[in-house]
């Protein structure tokens, strides 16, 4: 399941392909969207905006295409009209003079025609702030952690809740809690204000680093050193995620793996106090 940083990287790739040139053709597989094809042809795409696991493609005529990949959807960027051999069903395509952005298999595609419609959308309106949204401030996130809705929930479950923070998944959950040095079983109510502010900062910085540096959530110098010493990507990428029984990079205590809500979480029992 892709998480915020991977979704943002995919969105960047689509943006680079379709923003520079006006569309020459837009295709929708679903009948109820067909009449928008002409309306979106000859337009420019002004931005590709991930919201959690959904994507908004904004056009300069004021329309936005909402899509949610669920488990099956897949974006591909190709040379213009160079469709790949695949058994997947093409559901939405944007072509310009140079490139095509193709969405396969997704079944949840809608047209939203105003900012109000975006903000009131049943899925989008319930999402928490996107973890990579430029305007997200640590203080805002700290206040959210301290809110009545979140104060008494365990960090392990809160950090998979897209209504709290969109774009966090399994690996980011483990990595953020390690960097913040907080045990997954803690609740915000158990933490000091300073710890919560630290957690809020790490919740923004860890995903951003992952986005910028090929998914690496480990300390970058340490990761480089490990790589120079011959470690593979899997071994130097993360502090704790996927490192069951391996020594913690800070204290050498074996990393523990547990299942929470049937998803695996990793932590250091020494560095992350209960």
98 is known as an active-site residue: no
* In the complex, minimum distance from the CB of residue 270 to Zn ion, in angstroms, rounded to a whole number: 4
Let me know: does 36 contact 23? Beta carbons within 8 Å: no
DSSP string, 34-85: TTHHHHHTT--EEEEEEETTEEEEEETTS-EEEEE-TTT-EEEEEETT-PPP
* In the complex, minimum distance from the CB of residue 177 to Zn ion, in angstroms, rounded to a whole number: 12
Cβ neighbours for 262, distance < 8 A, ≥ 6 positions apart: none
Cβ distance to Zn ion smaller for residue 10 or 206: 206
Task: Kindly write out the interface string for residues 208-247 of this chain, putting x where it contacts Zn ion by CB under 5 A and - elsewhere.
Answer: ----------------------------------------
Strand partners, 130: 166
53 is known as an active-site residue: yes
214 is known as an active-site residue: no
User: Interface with Zn ion includes 180 (CB under 5 A)?
Assistant: no
| Residue choice 77, 250, 257, 264 for contact with Zn ion (CB under 5 A) | 250
| Residue choice 251, 254, 258, 273 for contact with Zn ion (CB under 5 A) | 251
CA distances from 213 to 29, 56, 67, 153, 171 (A): 36, 24, 26, 31, 15
* In the complex, minimum distance from the CB of residue 219 to Zn ion, in angstroms, rounded to a whole number: 13
Cβ distance to Zn ion smaller for residue 48 or 248: 248
Angle at 240 between CA 239 and CA 242, to 5 degrees: 120
| Residue choice 109, 191, 248, 256 for contact with Zn ion (CB under 5 A) | 248
Sign of torsion over alpha carbons 164, 166, 169, 172: negative
User: Interface with Zn ion includes 271 (CB under 5 A)?
Assistant: yes
* In the complex, minimum distance from the CB of residue 274 to Zn ion, in angstroms, rounded to a whole number: 14
User: Interface with Zn ion includes 270 (CB under 5 A)?
Assistant: yes
The residue number with the shortest CB distance to Zn ion is 248
254 is known as an active-site residue: no
Relative orientation angle of helices 138-145 and 193-212, to the nearest 10 degrees: 130
Tell me which stretch binds Zn ion (CB under 5 A): 53-61, 146-154, 201-209, 260-268.
260-268
DSSP string, 210-261: HHHTTT--S-HHHHHHHHHTT--HHHHS-SSTT-TTSBPTTT-PBPEEEEET
User: Interface with Zn ion includes 181 (CB under 5 A)?
Assistant: no
Cβ distance to Zn ion smaller for residue 40 or 182: 182
The edge-to-edge listing of strands for the beta sheet with 64-68 is 45-51, 54-59, 64-68, 108-112
> Catalytic: which of 51, 53, 99, 237?
53
Angle at 257 between CA 259 and CA 268, to 5 degrees: 130
Question: Considering CB under 5 A, how many residues would be counted as binding Zn ion?
Answer: 7
Cβ distance to Zn ion smaller for residue 8 or 238: 238
Residue with tokens 């470690």: 231
> Catalytic: which of 146, 263, 264, 269?
263
Cβ distance to Zn ion smaller for residue 66 or 241: 241
Question: Which residues contact Zn ion by CB under 5 A?
Answer: 248, 250-251, 253, 268, 270-271
Catalytic residues: 2-3, 53, 263
């Amino acid at each position: 399941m892709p998480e915020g940083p991977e979704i943002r990287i995919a969105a960047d790739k689509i943006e680079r392909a379709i923003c520079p040139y006006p569309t020459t053709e837009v295709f929708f597989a679903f009948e109820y969207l067909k009449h928008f094809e002409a309306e979106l042809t000859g337009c420019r795409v002004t931005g590709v905006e991930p919201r959690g696991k959904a994507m908004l493609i904004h056009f300069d005529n004021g329309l936005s295409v909402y899509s949610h990949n669920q488990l099956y959807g897949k974006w591909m960027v190709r040379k213009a009209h160079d469709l790949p051999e695949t058994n997947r069903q093409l559901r939405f395509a944007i072509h310009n003079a140079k490139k095509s952005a193709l969405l396969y298999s997704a079944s949840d595609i809608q047209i939203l025609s105003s900012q109000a419609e975006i903000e009131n959308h049943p899925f989008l309106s319930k999402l928490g702030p996107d973890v990579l949204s430029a305007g997200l401030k640590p203080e805002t996130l700290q206040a959210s952690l301290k809110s009545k809705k979140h104060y008494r929930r365990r960090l392990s479950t809160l950090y998979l809740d897209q209504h709290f923070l969109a774009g966090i998944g399994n690996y980011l959950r483990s990595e953020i809690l390690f960097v913040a040095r907080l045990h997954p079983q803690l609740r915000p109510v158990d933490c000091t204000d300073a710890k919560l502010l630290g957690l809020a900062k790490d919740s923004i910085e860890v995903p951003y680093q992952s986005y910028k540096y090929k998914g690496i959530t480990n300390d970058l110098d340490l990761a480089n050193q490990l790589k120079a010493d011959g470690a593979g990507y899997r071994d130097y990428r993360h502090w704790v995620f996927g490192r069951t029984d391996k020594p913690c990079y800070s204290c050498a205590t074996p990393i523990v793996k547990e299942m929470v809500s049937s998803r695996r979480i990793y932590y250091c029992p020494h560095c992350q106090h209960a």
